[in-house]
Amino acid sequence: MLEGWVGARELTPADLAAVRHVLVFTGARSAVETKIVRLVRRSVNHLTSAILEPSARRRLRGLVCAATGAPATTGSFTSRPTEAGPPSPPSGATAEADR
């Protein structure tokens, strides 16, 4: 399903909703968010122990937080809540067999 849509510029809102559904239903979204959380924590830990000027540490930490959505004040990061269970297929989405 996704292969036919990679790079396609003519996707409709319904097609995009179907892509989002696949990413959530298969667990891809959750897997990526989990990896981001792990990498942010690792980055913050490395920044904490690195020998850096305090202003450089603050700026780098700010960049990590800005890029990932982590709170700038604490450096901690929790993943965004995901849907409780797989979502229903979007209405009006084009089925894979129709492509």
Q: What is the DSSP string of the chain?
A: --GGGTT-S---HHHHHHHHHHHHHTTHHHHHHHHHHHHHHHHHHHHHHS---HHHHHHHHHHHHHHHT--TTT----PPP--SSPPPPPTTPPPGGG-
Q: What is the pTM assigned to this prediction?
A: 0.61
- Per-residue pLDDT tens over the stretch 22-81: 999 999 999 999 999 999 999 988 988 999 999 999 999 999 988 888 776 554 545 454
Q: For position 97, what pLDDT does the model report?
A: 41
